Structure 1
Amino acid sequence: LCRSFCFAVVGDAKDIDWFAPSGEKILPTRPNISVSRTDESTSTLTLYHANVDNAGIYKCVAKNGGKEAQATVQVKIFQKISFQSAPSPQEFNEGDNADIVCDVVSSPPASIIWKHKGSILQSAKDVRYKIMDNGHLLIRGIKKVDEGMYNCEARVMARGEIDFRLIKVIVNVLPTIRARKTEVNATADIGESALLACDADGFPEPTVTWTHNSVVLETGDKYSLNKDGSELVIKEVKKVDEGDYTCIAKNKAGEKAEEVSLNVFVLPNITYFNNQTASEFDEEVTLTCEASGDPTPTISWKFGNRLFTEGEQSLDRNVVVRSHARVSSLTLKNVQFTDAGRYLCTASNSIGEDNQQLFLEVRYAPKIMGLVAKYTWEENPANLSCEVAANPRASVVWFRDGIELPSSNSTNIKIFNTPTVNHLEITPESQNDFGSYNCTATNGLGSESKEFLLIQAEVPSSPKIEEVQPFSSTAVVEFEEPFSLGGVPILKYKVQWRLPGKEWRSQEYRADKGELSLITIVGLKPETTYEVKMSAINGKGEGESSRASTFKTEPVREPNAPILEVLPGKNLNSVKIKWTKQDDGGSPIKHYLLRYKAHVSDWKPEQRLPPLSDYVTLTGLDWNTDYEIHVVAVNQRGPSEPSVTSFRTATEPTTVPDAADGGSVLGTGAIVGILIVVFLLLLVAVDLTCYFLNKCGLLMCIAVNVCGKAGPGAKSKDIEEGQAAFSKDESKEPIVEVRTEEENTPNQEGGGPTEPNETTPLTEPE
């Protein structure tokens, strides 16, 4: 912008000068301002690049000799709207008083209007907003929701000028940080890692750093940080890693810190122990065990099945346990050879335990233990066992009548040694080999001898027959074992029976399967007198027989009732009834009769089962119901007394059985509905066939009565009324039998016949 101002002086002027609004004389050399004279009476002031700073009153002074004249000119310069400072974006911390800068220059001064989200901001509507005298927008306690674009609009209404600037306001949020766990526990020296974690929020997204003992932790051999730093992994945790760790969240708005405590526990570790050696009858010996760990471990002692606790042991005052801090001692007073062996020291705390075996060696003279008597018979080898306890190990020697064995004359004697037992094997050849044998054990601390007896065994005495219970074809013999076993166990019992004056028949029964006190003789004739006697057999041989007892079997009669047992079936509503045959009454069993019923119902049809059968399975029973079972054995003379038992079925499951388990997916109602639909479709098909082929049926009736169509004269009255009768052999439809679940008889399995007969299989595969 360039402006020129001219003044003409009346008369000649020697000097014409211009003065700026500040009173300063304007020199020709001044930049952007030019002063020139076109003639003797005219001077021109030219302002180049004029701006508002050039506005004001300029004075022109003319001089000639002693005369002076002056004149003034007022220069006004109007400036367009100019945004001197309106930076974008402008950032503030949440909660601060935000001064949004928008500096506008214009002349005359512009009025400033602020807008946000299309609305003009006014203090009257929101006291948090205030437009400052300098045009800035003040937002008191700025919030994150205040973030966004703001419009700073300047207006000079005098000349209709408007301009604006968009300013982006960013609200930074001070970080918040919280530890996932304020305390973390870890175990040292087991290769375990510890995870410390803090979750931080804020805007912009804060960075998380960790410090320990004022040292910033970084990813390396010892520590590992995830991408955002929120998780710190401490590798190979040791006791020295224990302490407080600080996680710090930091962004433009500031920083926050949180502490996480790492507690490092140490598994118990037995660091010292001592094995001991003592001699029997020493006054005392002490075992010591020392352990480390955090928390401080408690130490206990164990010997065999005995657990020793702190203090003097109540059961044995010769054992005392004393503990202090990490050290425990076990003191044994008046040492015995039985104290020798392995002691277990156990150090335990809340996170684990450690064990260490300590050994106490007790030196003592030999001690001979074991049985001193052995029974045998001629030509049957037997061992006399000399069990020796000694430390150091003892040498063992056998003697007979002062002569060391084996001797040159004793070919029937052998010696076998083990670490703790010395066996003298003797095969008696005559009465002279029975008697006393001496075992002598010797070590550096002393010796001990003991006499062992080899006794000749005898055959057992006779058993005592207490009672004979006869039946038609069997007899049960009840007896007591022999008074004398002969020194060796009974191997067998021999039972002999006969008709009076006839030869004895016999049967042997093993006695090694528990106690035997009842023996059953089978194959007897009904209503017959018999004699019976018994003898016992051991390794030596058969003993004397008992006195013969006489008994008479019963006449042919009805069989005894079988013994019943109820077992679970394959399904929850099925059972397996098993029976055991008893005395048949002298006549073979012809068959079994079984019947059953629910307690509140009538008896189901009786079932006849073959003589060799021993069980039957009942299926399809009602749920949660009590049942009663009767089973009768029948022979030629008639039925036995019924054997009676009862059972209760399980509660019906709430789940639908799977198809693979044989369950029905459709209920009874669904099956009935399907049958009705099938029946209706079949009825329609038959009616259509009758209509087109025979001019009869329901459709024919409708055609005659509604449509007026004449029916055939040969039709009967039933047909005219829309009814049709069919004989069985006239129907060409297949006969279909549909049986619902209620119609199935409950004593069937797999859809078999309701009542078994002689051809029914006795058993079913299990």
Structure 2
Amino acid sequence: MAKAQLEVADALKDRPPPIIRQGPSNQTQALGGVSLLRCQASGDPEPTVTWRKNGASLLGKDPRFSLLEHGSLQIQSTRLSDSGLYTCVATSSSGETSWSAYLDVRDSTDFLDFMSHNATALPGPPSKPEVTDVTKSSISLSWEPGPEAGSPVSSYVIEAFGQSVSNSWQTVADHAKTTEYTVKDLRPNTVYLFIIRAINAQGLGDPSLMSEPVRTQDISPTAQGVDHRRVQKELGDVVVSMHNPVVLSSTSVQVTWTVVENPSQFIQGYRVLYRQTSGLPSPGPWQIQDLKVASERDITLSGLKKGIVYEIKVRPYFNEFQGADSESMTALTMEEAPGAPPQQVTVLTVGSDNSTSISVSWDPPPAEQQNGIIQEYKIWCLANETRFHVNKTVDATIRSVVVGGLQTGVQYHVEVAAGTSAGVGVKSKPQLIILGAELRDVMTGSEGNNSISDVVKQPAFIAGLGGACWIVLMGFSAWLYWRRKKRKGLSNYAGSVLHLYSCRYIPKGQRPDQKWKVTRAVESG
């Protein structure tokens, strides 16, 4: 009987933690609107769902926040202070699983939620993953793609659960491009379960069925050096608590932590994991930076993106053995002015020939050079005289605008720039337009400017035109010279003939009707 109870207890212990089938996605919401953060979890036993904001428990503190029937969070009358990292936590007796997303609330009356996805267009679950190879620190998997509901599948995410590793599902591979993958850096002699999710343009789809349990190979006795079971147990009992990250600059954050429970002699160092959680449809892949001195408790993450929210956590390690993760915390790097101008700027006239308005449209600067959240766009229409200048500022959600009040016959240079909370960024290349002129439109953003005025101003065009004129002039001069020479030759010939027939010599005593040619006399003189 005791043996049977022990087997039941072990069976309960080996149950995997809950699976969040659909979690929240990053979204941007207008001030005063209603935001819905999805969370649908399953498991045995049935999990309970709670929510955190920036690591702190959320529900019960504000009547605007309500938990819907299936675990989703609804926020009424959104405020600017509601912006932050929201985490859905599904908990049961077998463990817990979390899923985070960033909510950005902006002060705009005509804003649309462009970051939310259409759940019906998410990819279907892949097939149950099959194990194809196992070593002491890696497991190779293969699977078949699931049905494509919307756009094509771009990559796959692999999650793993190991009872001795953690009490939650961990992402072990981001953006796997094929249906085969080898998961590395696993613990020796450890049982793992795996699930696969597909990603398309709309977001992350439902998970596959769980794989069969698979155990990594054990370390050989000669390579162990220490009792690895003892190492794993002690590392698993260590509790690490992170302090609030300190933002040092637009690209660096200082991370500090404390071991609050069960410090172990086997802590060889600490592994700091961080990932981007804003500016993307779903959180980016985890990046790792190791601190290899066990006595130190702080590290500086550098080379970060500007104006981006990062999720950060810390775990202790000893060789290939790893302890439990700390609670994750977030940090927002400082913003800077955009480092690139808006793209594909187009300037067109509007209305009749006497119109005083133009239409200006553009695309945002490249994402990697936005250096924060774009808050506005500035448009400058600059004339030769300041009294004719016209400027305009529009919200970040606007991509085109009509600018009026310009003067006909005046040459304008049109420029556009994006702005963040840190300031206005690089201006676009000035675009020339003259209202009421024969050249009506100027379209830019590419190198193929077909303006006739630009062509005729090129030195090569001017030199070619001058050369052609010189050739024509020289040809005309040669023809004129040849024509005049020919005329002169004909005139001399006609004079000689007349002289020949008008000169006669009548010898004395001859009849007047007898003609004598004096050709020789004429030729000689």
What TM-score does the superposition give when structure 2 sets the normalisation length?
0.29
Give the number of the structure whose residues are more often strand, by fraction. 1
TM-score of the aligned structures, taking structure 1 as reference length: 0.21
* Greater helix content: 2
